[in-house]
Amino acid sequence: MRKPLIVGNWKMYKTITEAVAYVDRIKAQLPPADQVEVELAVPTLFLQSLVERTRGTNLKIAAENCFYQDEGAFTGETSPVALRELGIKHVILGHSERRRLFYESDAVVNQKVHAALQAGICPLLCVDETMKRQVQGDRVQWVVSQVLTGLAGVTAAQLPRVTLAYEPSWAIGAGKAAATPSEANEGCYLIRQTLARLYGESAAARVRILYGGSVNQTNLPALLAQSDIDGVLIGRASLDPAVFLQMVAVAQQIMNGNDEGSSK
Ligand SMILES: O=C[C@H](O)COP(=O)(O)O
């Protein structure tokens, strides 16, 4: 069974003072990890402090990015080995903002996936979809090719350490409308089908696939009820601790419902 995973992605918001206050407010109020896993991806500056403050709780701190080399003359970059030493277990890679604003190619994202796995960190690989949703043929091509290139060379033994996220950029950010639950599920299903082609049906069925793009308290229940959506990657709505806590509580309720009959 795929346990729900709720990830808040703070992007480049908050100061360390705000970050500490947020984490101290929510860390003791989360459900147990065997019901729903909860992570916050935060700016690199806050990682050490927040990892220390959340030790022993069900709030895991993730990185928003890392570089594809362990060390070297790469000014401003973050080593995956250094992240691992801090106790970081997950890193977001290939977010559409990294692809669009920092020109990260599929090949670079793939290098980062390998570097993270090598360093002992689990990648959360984002699959973007820049095309308009009406262009179905292009949509399939975009999503499938990003999975194929992002995971090139990743072995079946490594796959269980990988999480994917379907994050259509047409649904991300202020002023955008989320994908409908069925559109979001189609994207996640497409990713799972591609994994099945690469690694077989049963391996693909065990991988968690998240949806991200304008997730909020209102659309969360319908998204989590979809067959191939195992959690969400939340941007803006994760910035308010009260809202984030409520969204985690919704995921927990749905999980309890699933115990009574869902096959996810
Ligand atoms: O990583 C999160 C996604 O970019 C979604 O952001 P958003 O919820 O603000 O649309």
What is the C-alpha separation between 135 and 156, in angstroms, rounded? 32
Please give the distance, rounded to the nearest whole angstrom, from the Cα atom of residue 172 to the centre of ligand 1. 5
Q: Helix, strand or coil for residue 103? A: coil
Global pTM value: 0.95
What was the pLDDT predicted at 261? 41
Please give the distance, rounded to the nearest whole angstrom, from the Cα atom of residue 125 to the centre of ligand 1. 14
User: What is the CATH number assigned to the segment(s) 5-261?
Assistant: 3.20.20.70
Comparison of pLDDT for 117 and 33, the residue scoring more:
117
What was the pLDDT predicted at 87? 96
Amino acid residing at 72:
G
Token reading at 176: 């955008």
pLDDT tens across 214-259, in order?
A: 999 999 999 999 999 999 999 999 999 999 999 999 999 887 776 5
What was the pLDDT predicted at 133? 56
For the cut 80, the answer to whether the pLDDT of residue 6 exceeds it is yes
Ligand 1 atom nearest residue 178's Cα: 10
pLDDT-derived band at 124 (thresholds 50, 70, 90) equals: very high
Known binding residue 9? Answer is: yes
Respond yes or no: is residue 167 known to be catalytic: yes
For the cut 70, the answer to whether the pLDDT of residue 132 exceeds it is no
Phi and psi of 251, rounded to 5°? -60, -40
Respond yes or no: is residue 186 known to be catalytic: no
Q: Please choose, from the candidates 215, 213, 227, 253, the residue with its C-alpha nearest in 3D space to the C-alpha of residue 2.
A: 227
Token reading at 206: 């065990």
Known binding residue 11? Answer is: yes
By percentage, how much of the chain surpasses pLDDT 70? 95
Catalytic residue (one of 37, 64, 167, 186): 167
**ipTM summary value:** 0.99
Catalytic residue (one of 37, 64, 90, 95): 95
For the cut 70, the answer to whether the pLDDT of residue 260 exceeds it is no
Known binding residue 214? Answer is: yes
Please give the distance, rounded to the nearest whole angstrom, from the Cα atom of residue 72 to the centre of ligand 1. 31
| Ligand 1 probe mutation, 172, 232, 238, most atoms within 8 A of CB | 172
pLDDT tens across 64-93, in order?
A: 999 999 999 999 999 999 999 999 999 999
